[in-house]
Every structure is written in C-alpha cells, then in structure tokens.
Structure 1
Amino acid sequence: MWLSAAEALTRLGSKPQSLYASVSRGRIRAKPDPLDTRRSLYREEDVDRLAARARGRRSSATVASEAISWGDPVLPSAISTVSGGRLYYRGLDAVVLSAGAGLEDIATLLWDGAWTLPATAPVPSAATPMAAAFAVLAERAAFAVPSAGLGPWQLRGEAAGVLGAMADAMLGAGSGPLHLRLADRLGRPDAAEVLRRTLVLLADHELNASTFAARVAVSTGASLAAGALAGLATFTGPRHGTAAGAVLALALDIGPHADRPGDGLREWLGEGRIIPGFGHRLYPGGDVRAEALLGAIGVPAAFRKLAAVAEDLLGDRPNVEFALAALTAAYDLPPHAPATIFALARSVGWLAHMLEQVASGQLIRPRARYVGPAVQPVPGPRG
C-alpha cells in the first residue's frame, strides 16, 4: 500500500518536485519510512489515481466518482478552506482567530452579518446533551418556515434561533458567552479559556460530511432547523463527529500496555480496526487545529506516549479528534463532552453553509452512476 519515492516517480512519470507538490497539496499521502526516517513512503492508491489522470483526460463519470471521496471541489463556497496546510475562515487564519475570538465572533464572520442570540427557553430533559439537541431541532423543524424565499436578515435571524435552541438544549438555559456556559455545563469553569479556543477551531471545516448533508437539506427549500437536524444526524457517525470517543476508548484499551503501548496498537491493527485520532488528508504536515489545541493544554502522559508511538508506527500525527480526547482527559470532562463541544461548535459552520446554499438558489441533486443489472427495454407496439 506504500511506495518508495523511486516507485512513485516511476508510476507518475514526473519529477521529484511534482511529487512533493502533490504531497503538500494533500493529493498524495506520505509517511516516514520506518526503516529510514530520512525518507518517505507514498500512498499507492493516491499515486495511481494521479497517474491515471496524467495518462489522459478522465471521463465525466470518473471525475464525478472521485469528487465525492476527497476529490476535487464540487461546489463554490466563500466560507472556509484548507490551503497550504492552514485552515481559513473567510480568508482569515482560524488558528490566529482562536487566540482571542469567541464562537459568537466566528458566527458573525461566517454568517457575514450581525445577529443576536435569542432569549433562552426551557427545554425537555434528555439523557445527554446530544439527545436534547435532536429533540429540540426535530420539534423546531416540524413548525419552522421554509428557508426558500427568506431574505438575508431573516435567514440570519432564523440561524440565531437555531443556534440558540441548540445551545439551550445542550447547555441549559442561561446567558453570556457560549464557552462560559459550556464550561459551566461540563462542571469545569477552569476550562473556559481552552474551550473558547476549541469552539473556534471546530466551527467549520470546508465541505465535510455533516456540512454537505445540511446544505443538501436546505437546497430543497427546507428550513434551517431541518438542515441542522440533517447535519447533526450525519455528525454522529464514528468516522466523523464522534471519533474523539473512539480515541478515548483506545487510550483506555491500551492501558495494560502502558510500558509497551505499541503492542496495544498492533493488537488493534491485527483485529482489523483502524487507529482513530491520527492523520488527516487535508493536512499532510499535521492538523494545525490539533497542534494549536494540544499546545494550549497540559497533555496527559498517556496521550503523549500514545501520540509518539502511533506516529512511529503509522507515520501520522495527531488530528483534532485526538486533541479533543486529550482535552477531555486533561480536564476530567464527562463522557459526552467531546460530542457536545464538537456539535455546538460545528453548528455555526452548518448554519453558515446553509445561508450560503439558500442564497445560491440551487438544488443539490447529483446523478447516480448505475452499475446494476442490465436495463430491460420495454417492447414497442407491433406495427
């Protein structure tokens, strides 16, 4: 699955500079060679995909198929992008913004206008903050007005209402900055500052799976609450918003191997399980969100050791899900904390993308490339 530089260059038929450029742009994944850390290995499937492109113009079917799996951009957006290994919100570096901005500031930036969080309202009790958010969004979506036809100020007002409903559901009724309410809800007011930074870093991330789901929903004219519900449902998958929980489970599972954590990781791999919390295709040099967050907390020793061993074994550096799990362990937060933090933050991004999608007036309706049984034509009338 991994090629040497010479093998990759042979398949690509290109110069080393082109190979390195493809790595820096996230088109080819790379990792250090475990036998010689001065050299790199390159992901075979990425190399072959680029080689196929170079051999000739791809068919429209191939282009469309690749685009939905970390391929070329599929729709225009002015909200956020990852470029040169950095995350930008409307052209501004997200890590720089996280040094002093709050989630409310990021909402103003991404929603492209002023807004006001509505007064809090009582919400029904639920087992977890996520369950409460689902209940509130479902009820709101049942009675909300369609997004189609609303003006920009009306849409921002509706977005504020959706964010307020989610915040009240997940954090309880209250006032003040969301990161302070979150810290109080988690029972750790001393974590308020790092939670503020975390919310900013997680607010948006291009066209991720949950954001795309939210955009598809409102492209039909559905309400912003319905779009947020679609985003939240997609978010719950273990390959997306709940991955930090898997990192916590991994850290617990390799506990018996504290002196030799590499053995625990090899057991996971031997069982056919992926190692969560490491690597990201958009950040071949390392997830800058994770670097910023890990630099702001006292990373527990177990997580430092896990990161070192995983990087040595896999060639991948910690991503933001690892950082979120480390934050949870560092402040002894409750089990629901990673999903609560992430979903609250990302709801701002969902709403920004939904506002943009509604303004475009376009329906997102791709075609499927049929690969089923041969179509049986209906016989025509006999003449």
Structure 2
Amino acid sequence: MTARTADWIAAEDARARLGVRPQTLYAYVSRGRVQVRVDPNDPRRSLYRAADIAALAERKARSRKPAEVAAGAIAWGEPVLASAITTVAGGKLFYRGRDAVALAETETLEAVARLLRGGHGAALKRTDRPQPPSGADMRARAFTALAERAGADPPARGRNPLALAVEAATLLDVLTDAVAGAVGGGAIANRLALAWGQGPGGPGADLIRRALVLLADHELNASTFAARVAASTGASLAASALAGLSALSGPRHGGAAAAVQAFAAEAAQNGPGEALALRLAEDRALPGFGHPLYPHGDPRAEALLTRFSPPPALERLRAAVRNVAGLEPNVDFALVALAENLRLPKEAPFALFAVARCAGWIAHAIEQGQTGQLIRPRARYVGVEPA
C-alpha cells in the first residue's frame, strides 16, 4: 500500500476502528468530523481519512464513562432518539429520504407537513377555526394562539391517528392565521404573502413557499427536542408545538435573525471589513454564517440565495466573511436577505421559521407518541454534598 492510499481507508475498516454503525459514520462525515472521498478504483465506494478516524477513536477511548458520554451527547453529539422523519447526510437535508432542496422546487408546506407525518395523498379537511388573537406583534399572536389551543385540546396519547392528522393540519392553519392576522384560505405561502404585501402566486410568494419547505424540519434541533419531550408525556399536539415555539424563540435558534440583522447593521455603519475584523478581534460570533452540520455550506441557504439577489450591503458582507473567515451563509442569513429583498416586516424571518417548523414539531410529536416512551434523562449532581 502506498503512502497516499494508506491515508484513506474503506468504510468497513473505519467502522471497525470506531466500533460504530454505518449511520454513525455517515453522521461524522456530515458534521465535518471525518473527510471522505470517492475510491479512485471503484466510484461506487467511499474512502475515509485515516487520521480523522484515529482522532475520533482516541477521543472515544478517553471518554468512556457513561456520564461523560451522555454529557457529550447533549451538545452536537450522537442522536439521542431514533427517528424516521429527517436526517442530514452528505451535506444535504432529507425529509423521509427525499431531498428537501428538491422538494422546495415544487411542493407546498402543507404537502411537506403530510410527508413528515408519514401521510400522503389528498389534503385533509380542516376543522373550523376561531379568529386569531389581536395585536400588532406576530410573535405574541403566535404564542397566544398556540397557548389557547394547548389549554383546551385533549391529550394526544391514545387518540385515533386520523383525528390526530386532522388536528395537525388545523393546528398549522391556526398558527398561520395568528401570524397573518386573519383567518384565511388557500395555500399557507400565499396567505403569508398577502399579509405581507406580496401578490399570491407571484415571485415573492414563491420565495416564501420555498423558505417554508426548507425550514419545515431539521432533525433533533433544540425546539424539536422540546416538542418531543412534551409529546412524550402524552400532551396535546398544541402543547408540544407550544414547547417547540418557546425553544425556537431564543436568540441561538429561531431568534438568530435578530443577531444577523445586528451584524448587518454593524457592517452597514462601519463597512463589512471593519465590522468583521472587530468581531474576530473580540472573539465574537459571526451570526448568519457557518453551521456545524454543514461544513461545506448550508444547502437551504444556497437554495434560497440562488433565487434572488440579496441587497448589496448583505452581498458585500457575505463576500467579506467568505474571504476572511472562509464561512458560507446559513439559513438565518438567507432569511434576513429574503425579508429585506421583499421588504417584509422585521419579524418575518422568525414568523416564517415558526410556521414552517411547526410542521416538523407536529410530526415529531406524533412519532414520539407512537413510541409510548417518556423522555426522562437523569441529572449528574454537582452541587453541595447532601448532609
């Protein structure tokens, strides 16, 4: 074996050295922890960088205590729950085995929501809906609408699957009504487009439709995990969605658009080069750029940014970050750019995220309920020694 080929090993060898299953090896690749290339002798096979495998094996050997393994799994570690809904593999996002970027070319959020729930065929008839909460704040209306449903809807545990499916479709409409500020009919993307001054069926509505599909689910992110924890208790779908919305509201998740907007404002005031240099000098984050699951670029961002021209100031910021830090935009940057391009309300990025991700929360809530298992981890106590 030559020195060059010795640097790369086959999948079977890589798994044996790590003691992992194929899907775990693929997860390491998708998260940028193991480099992969095509076998020059067989294009159908992949080779894995031996040095990356060795580094992972050494790290695993140093941390074999159950408490240490569990603690590491909480933050970008191994998946803690089995799910058939969504995965990230090879730098791409898949909904039940189908490429999310390809689905965004043609599908609506409603169709993708059915796919995520494991359903197919014609759309379900929704139940009647009340008028949405009043108020000018889209986020507050969304919380209020879900809270009202959570306080009244029956537990999901033991419910008829068809009844849950109808409730799921209705719940997505309830949240859309709250964001749009009125009960509406037709496709969710068109209803949001109308509420935000875009013509239904026009280019703006199509961009909104694409964003909704691309944001519908993203594996076990923080808000989805929160929704599954609530669902594991047997809570209603609305209660699970409310748990998801609560987690989404944080600035390190669905609220990240505000951080991107602040970074963009710094770049507009001081120039992108100076704004970037200052953040790097202060060891501050570059919101809107890079993603742990997509070391080579967020495909959701690329799928959106190729469909319109971002405002010049954001385009200059994107170029500066790429040249200096080598990072590509993530979907948070793309949402902010889309909102500015269409002159949507400032809250629109979060509202788009919430409506879209509600489809995923509901799908995961139903899947978790089907397991019949309660999610209840143990705490590793580090406080004052008990008397």
> What does residue 104 of structure 1 align with?
110
Residues of 2 paired with 1:247 and 1:185: CA distance?
24
> What does residue 61 of structure 1 align with?
67
> What does residue 125 of structure 2 align with?
116
The answer as to whether partners of 2:290 and 2:328 remain within 8 angstroms in 1 is yes
1:279 equivalent among 284, 290, 303: 290
Unaligned residue ranges in structure 2 (runs of 5+): 1-5, 15-24, 36-51
1:334 equivalent among 332, 336, 345: 345
User: Is residue 275 of structure 2 the alignment partner of residue 264 of structure 1?
Assistant: yes
Q: Which amino acid aligns with 2:152?
A: F
2:164 equivalent among 128, 144, 155: 155
> What does residue 328 of structure 2 align with?
317
User: Is residue 145 of structure 2 the alignment partner of residue 136 of structure 1?
Assistant: yes
Q: Which amino acid aligns with 1:25?
A: S
Give CA deviations for 1:197-246 in whole Å, capped at 9, x if unaligned. Answer: 11000000000000100110111111111111111011001110011222
- Tell me the TM-score normalized by structure 2: 0.84
Q: Structure 1 residues 22, 352: CA separation in 2 closer, same or farther (over 3 Å shift)?
A: closer
Alignment size in residue pairs: 345
User: Is residue 300 of structure 2 the alignment partner of residue 289 of structure 1?
Assistant: yes
Deviation at 1:109, TM superposition (A): 0.6
Deviation at 1:22, TM superposition (A): 8.7
Q: Structure 1 residues 151, 23: CA separation in 2 closer, same or farther (over 3 Å shift)?
A: closer
Residues of 1 paired with 2:305 and 2:355: CA distance?
20
Residues of 1 paired with 2:8 and 2:261: CA distance?
39
For residues 175-254 of structure 1, what are the structure 2 equivalents within 5 Å?
175-189=185-199, 190=202, 191-254=204-267
The answer as to whether partners of 1:79 and 1:206 remain within 8 angstroms in 2 is yes
> What does residue 40 of structure 2 align with?
none
Residues of 1 paired with 2:8 and 2:312: CA distance?
39
Identity of aligned residues (%): 50
Q: Structure 1 residues 363, 335: CA separation in 2 closer, same or farther (over 3 Å shift)?
A: same
Q: Which amino acid aligns with 2:254?
A: G
Worse-matched range after superposition: 201-210 or 237-246 = 237-246
Deviation at 1:95, TM superposition (A): 0.3
SS of 2:105 mapped into structure 1: coil
The answer as to whether partners of 1:24 and 1:285 remain within 8 angstroms in 2 is no
> What does residue 166 of structure 1 align with?
175
- Tell me the TM-score normalized by structure 1: 0.84
The answer as to whether partners of 1:108 and 1:115 remain within 8 angstroms in 2 is no
Residues of 2 paired with 1:178 and 1:336: CA distance?
17
The answer as to whether partners of 2:27 and 2:89 remain within 8 angstroms in 1 is no
Q: Structure 1 residues 239, 49: CA separation in 2 closer, same or farther (over 3 Å shift)?
A: farther
Residues of 2 paired with 1:68 and 1:340: CA distance?
27
Q: Which amino acid aligns with 1:79?
A: I
Residues of 1 paired with 2:153 and 2:66: CA distance?
39
The answer as to whether partners of 2:26 and 2:90 remain within 8 angstroms in 1 is no
2:84 equivalent among 51, 73, 78: 78
2:313 equivalent among 290, 302, 307: 302
Q: Structure 1 residues 22, 15: CA separation in 2 closer, same or farther (over 3 Å shift)?
A: farther
Q: Structure 1 residues 57, 334: CA separation in 2 closer, same or farther (over 3 Å shift)?
A: closer
Deviation at 1:111, TM superposition (A): 1.3
SS of 1:141 mapped into structure 2: helix
Q: Which amino acid aligns with 1:284?
A: P
Residues of 1 paired with 2:357 and 2:183: CA distance?
20
Residues of 2 paired with 1:112 and 1:322: CA distance?
30
The answer as to whether partners of 1:29 and 1:284 remain within 8 angstroms in 2 is no
Unaligned residue ranges in structure 1 (runs of 5+): 1-13, 31-45, 377-383
2:155 equivalent among 133, 146, 165: 146
SS of 2:94 mapped into structure 1: strand
Deviation at 1:24, TM superposition (A): 3.6
Give CA deviations for 1:324-377 in whole Å, capped at 9, x if unaligned. Answer: 01101111111111011111100000000001011111100001112222333x
Q: Structure 1 residues 48, 59: CA separation in 2 closer, same or farther (over 3 Å shift)?
A: farther
Q: Structure 1 residues 62, 47: CA separation in 2 closer, same or farther (over 3 Å shift)?
A: farther
Residues of 1 paired with 2:215 and 2:128: CA distance?
25
The answer as to whether partners of 1:23 and 1:284 remain within 8 angstroms in 2 is no
Q: Structure 1 residues 290, 328: CA separation in 2 closer, same or farther (over 3 Å shift)?
A: same
Q: Structure 1 residues 186, 358: CA separation in 2 closer, same or farther (over 3 Å shift)?
A: same
The answer as to whether partners of 2:146 and 2:175 remain within 8 angstroms in 1 is yes
Root mean square deviation, CA, Å: 2.3
The answer as to whether partners of 2:146 and 2:241 remain within 8 angstroms in 1 is yes
Q: Structure 1 residues 24, 316: CA separation in 2 closer, same or farther (over 3 Å shift)?
A: farther
The answer as to whether partners of 1:123 and 1:136 remain within 8 angstroms in 2 is yes
SS of 1:88 mapped into structure 2: strand
Deviation at 1:29, TM superposition (A): 8.9
Deviation at 1:195, TM superposition (A): 0.7
Residues of 2 paired with 1:363 and 1:119: CA distance?
32
